Amino acid sequence: MTSSLSKVRLQRAYDAPTPGDGHRVLVDRVWPRGRTKEQLRLDAWARDLGPSAELRKWFGHDPARWAEFQARYCAELADPERAQALDALAERALRGPVTLVFGARDPEHNQAVVIADQLERRMGIVRRNEL
């Protein structure tokens, strides 16, 4: 679930870590239900990068709200502290693989997808679907 151009990978918290994951970061505000620290093998928990409780509840992982969720979430990520955290993650990804770990069931409509896009933009990478 990663672009061949990018060192940013996405992985559900309920999937087993793999040797090539590199730096593993949980990007949810809420710890994934039923998972232990040992199972996740995280290097960091960037809970402040997760969407606000209000936005998360409004979205409810409804694909019909995806475009609006992305816009609202990008506005939240523009906050200076969050932007600084994104910059640090992008710098980390330039040095090696970074895996964004998320708990959502839907692998295409969740905050990790938005964060990955933001990281790739910061790293100067254009996603294939924008070419």
* Model pLDDT for residues 85-97, shown as the tens digit of each residue: 999 999 999 999 9
pLDDT average, residue stretch 1-29? 85
Higher pLDDT, 124 or 43: 43
Is residue 7 scored above 60 in pLDDT? yes
Residue 81 is which amino acid?
E
Cβ(32)–Cβ(112) under 8 Å?
no
**31 Rama sector, left if φ>0, alpha if ψ -120 to 50, beta otherwise:** beta
pLDDT class for 38, splitting at 50, 70, 90? Answer: very high
